[in-house]
Structure 1
Amino acid sequence: MKLFLDKGEQVKIEGRIDSTVFNCTLSGTRLNEDHSRHYQELRPFWIEGLRLQDAMAGKSRAEQEALYERFRQVMARRRACEMDYIDANPDNPLAGYCLTKIPIDSVLTYHERLADAARNSIFRPLLEPLLAKAGKYRLIRLAEAKIVAGSPAPDFTLKTADDKNFTLSSLRGKYVVLDFWGSWCGWCIKGIPEMKRYYDRYKSKLEIVGVDCNDTPERWLAAVEEHRLPWINVYNPKDVPAAEDISVEYAVSGYPTKVIIGPDGVIIGKYAGEGPDFYEALHKTIQ
């Protein structure tokens, strides 16, 4: 359980370990007292969630999956409790904190329901990055309808590893794979050898464009050199507004994500994760 302190405030904590979940009450400030009461509403969900997690030990895969589904349902009810609190207490600063505990696709909707007292409380430093993340998420969901087979691939211009401008449309006439990746992404790195094999096999007809995301320029360049990436490599700056982010425009929500584009600039397919479906599709497309 968390407690919240501003300069000069004092809070009293009384509690005990009960059912593996700390059972306590807070007093001394209104915010902590409100939080203490709300915690008691949430506590049954935590207890049930821990019980289900403990029950998974030693069970078969099928039994674990069934228990995990029940766990997900319990956590969904917990999140619903947080949203109910926001609706019932829109002017309470604690409602701002509850906003950080709900699904990302609900954040903007529930933030609009908050009064200024909750929006501008001591939790504002937590809310600002959360709202940016939620805004980016919403744009990605909107972009998904455009990044489908048969749609034109959005054009873009980014800097290459040798600091030159690269424009996607300059590759018209060849098959293109956009590989959204990052030096921090284990699955992206794991897939590099297979990507190299397919590039060597089809490079007379195919160009790969590695679009590095969520990296610093230094880490990106070091990774390009370390892994000796032979294709075009461009950097997608991580500090640009979401509306200007190429990964958002291509509805990238996980890494790696690969997009196959035809010689006419039309999307053939989009593939999330590192799996055989992408390579099978690429082979069938180009052979």
Structure 2
Amino acid sequence: MKDSFDEPPPAPSPESATLPDGLRFAFGTLTVLPARITRWDRPAARTGMACAPLVGLVVGLLAAVPGVLLALLDGGPLLAAVVTVAVPAALTRGLHLDGLADTADGLGSAKPAEEALRVMKRSDIGPFGVVALLLVLLTQVAALADAYADSWCRGALAAVTAAVAARLAMTLASRAGVPAARPGGLGAAVAGAVPPGVAACVAALTVVLVAAAALPLGAAGAAQHAAAVLAALAAAEQLLRRCVRRFDGVTGDVFGALSEAAATAALLVLALG
């Protein structure tokens, strides 16, 4: 996520933000859904990024609806999977995918941090970005197609789980101690904003709720969905550490890359079942 939020509107900065302020921040920065951002400050960022999994829940449900309809109308699992992957891309204006491509180009450039960040700011996509996009999108579609082929319920749960895990990865990446790579944009606004204890509690609660939502598939299914979220967070954490070492911090692009990496890892685990 980047350009659209490089010059945020001024806002008051009291010590805490209300839940509505945080939700507006989360939905306004992470989706194109109508949510007028009323505050752009650290307290709003703290509350907003703690609420990021709720954004994932809404995005996942909206993605699952057309996929389930196509599956029920015998549209085929592959078509259902493609549409399910397309909806989150549309709801984010493709910014998470753009962040993935830019981060891949930055990591693959083998340039010093400052020059790599300039590579990421360019409007074009390099070879590393193209390869990353193709592999991630193909993996997501293949994994979802496998889930829909089993049943529309598994396909829908996979879509929601991946979307929630993707935004939960953003919550953990916003924890205190993770620096911003540059002073502008969404990365600087949210980097280090969420207390580690809050991030850990949100992660634990999310894993439990995902497992509970998958209970209709049985105990094994619930355990698999919990494992999918944990695998997503592990993959995102490895990428986060790599980016912090490489760029000296995080950017909006890195948050987009973490989201896509987490979603892909979750879907891979669910496909293995």
TM-score, reference length from structure 1: 0.24
User: Which is richer in strand?
Assistant: 1
Higher relative contact order (CA 8 A, sep 6+): 2
User: Which is richer in helix?
Assistant: 2
Q: Which has the larger radius of gyration?
A: 1
